[in-house]
């Protein structure tokens, strides 16, 4: 049965907040924790539901532990899994608690596709996440510290391309990424009528001018473009991927592949220790839940997956 509780947040401008849950699927302790966190909100006004997210997250992290959606079907699906939904009057978005990292590669449209094609798309997204974080850093690390790993033909091509560049590889990579961020922000802040055209024209002109002037090499521009485009495949993770991409370039430039290995290990440790209301962010991968792999490692058909849905309540520590 659907249960809805109402709270009032904001001192000067009170706003009503609704806590939605299914009594037969949601753990009562989760609902109590969410209610307690929202009752502790100490703000003069809450203009949008995003103001409430920091009060629900137990510790600062690059990755969000609360989900956001504006689709009613997505919210209904999360409630059926035992999540808690949070709505606020005047806001078209809803918060979902808890949020799992694996949900960034899962979309509701996947379940309308053939299982084999949905599985293919899932693995494309997994690869895209790795490329978005580590591809520029891997290029910098191999070019500086491990050139013996490259094929002779490829090594000669990269050497020729980088021979006349005035900047070091890490500086060149970070400068290219910052240039892209400037163009992206300009496209987002301008009116929609001209925003897209400015982004395309600015990217073409600046990119071509940078290569022609010798400030940026063609391989570096190609690697950066692949990494940035890969980040768009998982838009929920794009802010975190952007920061991690820059940090990995610095580490790869200083310590090579050994530094990137340590960086990957530290990232995995950070993900495993992040949780919200005792629900781990990395579930169902860590702790490992074999039954949930039918919607993680691959997407099983509805005839089999529909028998006993995935319950978030079982992931609680």
Within-domain flag for 123: no
Question: The tokens of 200 are what?
Answer: 């395309």
Residue among 41, 49, 67 nearest 281 (CA): 67
SS3 4: strand
| pTM metric for this prediction | 0.84
Structure tokens at 44: 């003069």
Rounded distance between C-alpha atoms, residue 108 and residue 106, angstroms: 7
pLDDT at 199: 64
Q: Which of 182, 179, 183, 173 has its CA nearest to residue 135?
A: 173
Taking the C-alpha atoms of residue 210 and residue 205, their distance in angstroms, rounded to an integer, is: 8
Task: Report the domain count for the chain.
Answer: 2
The confidence score (pLDDT) of residue 290 equals 81
Q: What is the model's pLDDT at position 198?
A: 65
Residues 183 and 290 placed together within one structural domain of the fold: no
Position 55 in a domain: yes
Residues of the chain with pLDDT below 50 are 308
- Determine, yes or no, domain membership for 199: yes
Is residue 134 classed exposed, middle or buried when 0-12, 13-18 and 19+ CB atoms within 10 A define those classes?
Answer: buried
The DSSP bridge partners found for residue 15 are 9
Helix axes 115-145, 169-189, angle to 10 degrees: 140
Range of the domain at 296: 1-99+274-317
pLDDT (0 to 100) of residue 13: 85
Task: Write the pLDDT tens digit of every residue in 141-185.
Answer: 988 888 888 877 777 877 777 777 777 888 888 988 888 888 787
Question: Distance of CA 19 to CAs 37, 45, 62, 107, 270, Å?
Answer: 12, 18, 25, 23, 29
Does residue 116 sit within a domain?
A: no
Q: Is residue 88 part of a domain?
A: yes
**What is the end-to-end Cα distance of the chain in Å, rounded?**
25
The gap from C-alpha 140 to its chain's centroid, in whole angstroms, comes to: 23
Same domain for 313 and 220? Answer: no
Q: Are residues 139 and 252 in the same domain?
A: yes
Same domain as 161, residue 223 = yes
Q: Is 263 within the bounds of a domain?
A: no
Q: Give the phi and the psi of residue 304 in degrees, each rounded to 5.
A: -100, -40
> Is residue 221 domain-shared with residue 293, that is, in the same domain?
no
158 and 215 together in one domain: yes
Tens-place pLDDT, residues 85-100: 999 988 889 999 998 8
């Amino acid at each position: 049965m659907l249960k809805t509780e109402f709270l009032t947040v904001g001192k000067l401008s009170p706003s009503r907040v609704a806590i939605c849950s299914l009594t037969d699927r949601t753990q009562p302790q989760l609902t109590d924790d969410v209610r307690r966190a929202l009752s502790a909100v100490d703000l003069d006004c809450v203009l949008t539901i995003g103001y409430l997210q920091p009060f629900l997250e137990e510790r600062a992290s690059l990755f969000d532990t609360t989900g956001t959606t504006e689709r009613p079907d997505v919210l209904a699906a999360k409630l059926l899994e035992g999540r808690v939904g949070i709505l606020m009057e005047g806001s078209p978005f809803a918060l979902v608690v808890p949020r799992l990292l694996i949900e960034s590669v899962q979309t509701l449209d996947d379940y309308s596709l053939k299982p084999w094609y949905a599985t293919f798309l899932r693995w494309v997204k997994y690869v895209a996440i790795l490329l978005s974080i580590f591809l520029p850093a891997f290029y910098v690390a191999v070019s500086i510290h491990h050139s013996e790993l490259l094929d002779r033909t490829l090594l000669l091509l990269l050497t020729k391309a980088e021979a006349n560049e005035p900047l070091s590889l890490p500086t060149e990579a970070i400068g290219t990424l910052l240039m892209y961020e400037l163009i992206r922000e300009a496209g987002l802040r301008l009116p929609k009528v001209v925003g897209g055209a400015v982004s395309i024209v600015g990217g073409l002109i600046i990119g071509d001018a940078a290569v022609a002037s010798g400030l940026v090499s063609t391989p570096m521009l190609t690697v950066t473009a692949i990494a940035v485009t890969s980040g768009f495949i998982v838009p929920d993770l794009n802010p975190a991927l952007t920061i991690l991409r820059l940090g990995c370039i610095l580490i790869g430039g200083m310590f090579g592949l050994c530094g990137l290995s340590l960086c990957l290990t530290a990232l995995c440790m950070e993900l495993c220790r992040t949780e919200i209301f005792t629900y781990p962010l990395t579930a169902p991968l860590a702790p490992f839940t074999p039954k949930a792999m039918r919607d993680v490692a691959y997407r099983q058909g509805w005839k089999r997956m529909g028998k006993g849905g995935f319950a978030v309540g079982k992931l609680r520590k």
